[in-house]
């Protein structure tokens, strides 16, 4: 205000400025009371005007910057925070060029030693680490008690303890406890709870390990997919593990939907153990082809959608879709059946064979480690599939890390996919992020 007030006073008659009087015949202008000439007064006015303009411009710039800070700064994502410094392994990987494994949007990367979607902290909560060790050493009851007690404290801001409990109940085949926890989870976080997708029971699951026969369906699912599905059926046998990649399908035709529905039904009826990747993505695509009340459309996308919802064990969605199917075609819908020997996983890279880890790794696992070494000889990317891995004993986890460190030292890139959160917490504690990329399964 001082500048503008001074400027006004300089233009006010009360300050002693006598304007020229036209009645005097246009004589010379009068002088200022202080005796300075008119030319000097005009220069002073010009100087003050420039100061006023500069000050106004500065105020505008400050106000604009403040408005940008308040309104235009993007809100940080949930769980964001200061990142831990990269390890030397991670820095080397970041500088090694484009990694195709990192371009998959359906998985969460644990490349910086931080569990996905959890609050970023300097280290995991003590209850997470202690529970992971207890569970690894076979003390599931003690781990469960510790995790359950932490829900009202740590669990109010860290979802990791919830995810670990979900995995513990699934590994123990305890659907009722899982459902009760899911209700509390949905109430606490106001989000949809995870679906029941049990891991193989630790005590009874076969100790299969090795390269998994895989069939990848991609592009358009149509009549030309018959040959691929026939190869998968030929590989099927009771007790044999197969992997089917569905997440790379981009378009559907009624013929392709019918072929895939029949193949899935045949594999289940034959007792084959399946790992189905990308079922959720394909279910979303199939749902786009279903229109309630459109009786002239093909029922094949509906039947494929129902088959996929069964694989995903989403009974509520299945029943709702079955009712819509019944209304549309006026026929009885299929009935829901639990998926049985089926594990679902996130979709992965197309060109890399996976080594399936067994349900439990414990004791002297030299045979398993030798098989991993043999598998790694033929690939630059060592991709270990943990979709069926329920537990790793602490000593075996240390020994596995040593083997993986040796492979990483020889130039191999190592990834562990679909790790359950109990095992992921143990690997995090042991420093696996320094030798491998960990992808916990996503809730």
Return the domain boundaries, the chain. Answer: 2-72, 86-197+353-443, 213-345
Structure tokens at 355: 């080594």
CA separation for the pair 110, 112 (Å, rounded): 6
Please determine, for residue 437, whether its predicted confidence score (pLDDT) is greater than 90.
yes
- Furthest CA-CA distance within the chain: 120
Structure tokens at 69: 């800070």
Q: What is the pLDDT of residues 78-135, one digit of tens each?
A: 333 333 344 344 444 444 433 333 333 333 344 433 334 333 344 679 999 999 999 9
Ramachandran area for residue 138 (φ above 0: left; ψ -120 to 50: alpha; else beta): left
Q: How far is CA 84 from CA 120, 157, 440, in A?
A: 9, 19, 19
Q: How far is CA 136 from CA 116, 143, 204, 350, 419, in A?
A: 21, 9, 17, 32, 14
213-345 is classed CATH 3.30.750.24: yes
Residue 63: per-residue pLDDT: 57
Provide the mean pLDDT of the chain: 77
Please determine, for residue 67, whether its predicted confidence score (pLDDT) is greater than 80.
no
CA separation for the pair 364, 369 (Å, rounded): 10
Backbone angles phi, psi at 360, to 5 degrees: -135, 135
Please determine, for residue 180, whether its predicted confidence score (pLDDT) is greater than 60.
yes
**Residue with structure tokens 């009624």?**
254
Residue 87: per-residue pLDDT: 39
**Residue with structure tokens 């949930």?**
78
Please determine, for residue 54, whether its predicted confidence score (pLDDT) is greater than 90.
no
| DSSP symbols for 108-159 | --BTTS--TTSPP-SS--HHHHHHHHHHHTT-HHHHHHHHHHHTTTGGGT-T
368 pLDDT tier (thresholds 50, 70, 90): very high
287-323 CB burial, b ≥16 within 10 A, e <16: bebbeeeeeeeebbbbbbbbbbbbbbbbeebbeebbe
Beta pairing class for 437-440 and 413-419: parallel
Section 26-33 average pLDDT: 42
Q: Angle at the Cα of 310 (from 327 to 235), degrees rounded to 5?
A: 130
Q: DSSP label at 200? A: P
Please determine, for residue 429, whether its predicted confidence score (pLDDT) is greater than 70.
yes
239 pLDDT tier (thresholds 50, 70, 90): low
Residue 62: per-residue pLDDT: 61
Residue 188: per-residue pLDDT: 93
pTM of the model: 0.60
């Amino acid at each position: 205000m001082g500048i503008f007030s001074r400027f006004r006073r300089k233009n006010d008659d009360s300050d002693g400025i006598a304007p020229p009087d036209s009645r005097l015949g246009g004589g010379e202008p009068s002088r200022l009371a202080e005796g300075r000439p008119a030319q000097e007064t005009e220069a002073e006015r010009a100087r003050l005007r420039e100061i006023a303009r500069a000050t106004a411009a500065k105020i505008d710039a400050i106000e604009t910057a403040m408005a940008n800070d308040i309104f235009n700064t993007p809100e940080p994502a949930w769980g964001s925070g200061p990142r831990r410094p990269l390890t030397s392994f991670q820095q080397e990987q970041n500088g090694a060029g484009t990694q195709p494994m990192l371009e998959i949007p359906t998985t969460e990367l644990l490349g910086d030693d931080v569990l996905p979607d959890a609050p970023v902290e300097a280290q995991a909560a003590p209850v997470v680490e202690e529970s992971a060790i207890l569970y690894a050493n076979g003390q599931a009851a003690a781990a469960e008690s510790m995790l359950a007690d932490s829900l009202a404290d740590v669990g109010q801001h860290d979802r990791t303890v919830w995810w670990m409990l979900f995995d513990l109940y699934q590994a123990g085949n305890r659907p009722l406890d899982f459902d009760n926890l899911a209700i509390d989870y949905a109430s606490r976080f106001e989000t949809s709870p995870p679906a029941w997708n049990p891991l193989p029971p630790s005590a009874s699951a076969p100790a299969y390990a090795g390269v998994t026969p895989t069939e990848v369906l991609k592009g358009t699912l149509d009549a030309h997919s018959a040959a691929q599905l026939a190869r998968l059926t030929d590989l099927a046998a009771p007790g044999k593990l197969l992997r089917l990649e569905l997440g790379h399908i981009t378009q559907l035709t009624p013929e392709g939907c019918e072929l895939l529905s029949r193949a899935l039904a045949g594999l289940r009826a034959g007792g084959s153990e399946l790992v189905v990747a990308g079922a959720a993505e394909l279910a979303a695509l199939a749902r786009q082809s279903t229109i309630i009340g459109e009786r002239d459309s093909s029922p094949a996308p509906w039947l494929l959608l129902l088959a996929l919802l069964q694989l995903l064990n989403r009974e509520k969605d299945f029943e709702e879709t079955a009712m819509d199917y019944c209304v549309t075609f006026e026929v009885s819908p299929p009935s829901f059946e639990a998926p049985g020997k089926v594990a679902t996983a996130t979709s992965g890279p197309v060109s890399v064979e996976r080594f399936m880890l067994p349900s439990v790794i414990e004791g002297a696992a030299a045979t398993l480690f030798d098989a991993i070494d043999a598998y790694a000889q033929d690939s630059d990317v060592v991709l270990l599939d943990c979709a069926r891995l329920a537990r790793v004993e602490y000593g075996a986890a240390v020994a596995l890390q040593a083997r993986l460190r040796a492979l990483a030292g020889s130039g191999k890139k190592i990834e562990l996919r679909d790790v359950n959160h109990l095992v992921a917490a143990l690997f995090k504690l042991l420093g696996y992020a320094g030798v491998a990329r960990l992808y916990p399964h996503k809730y």
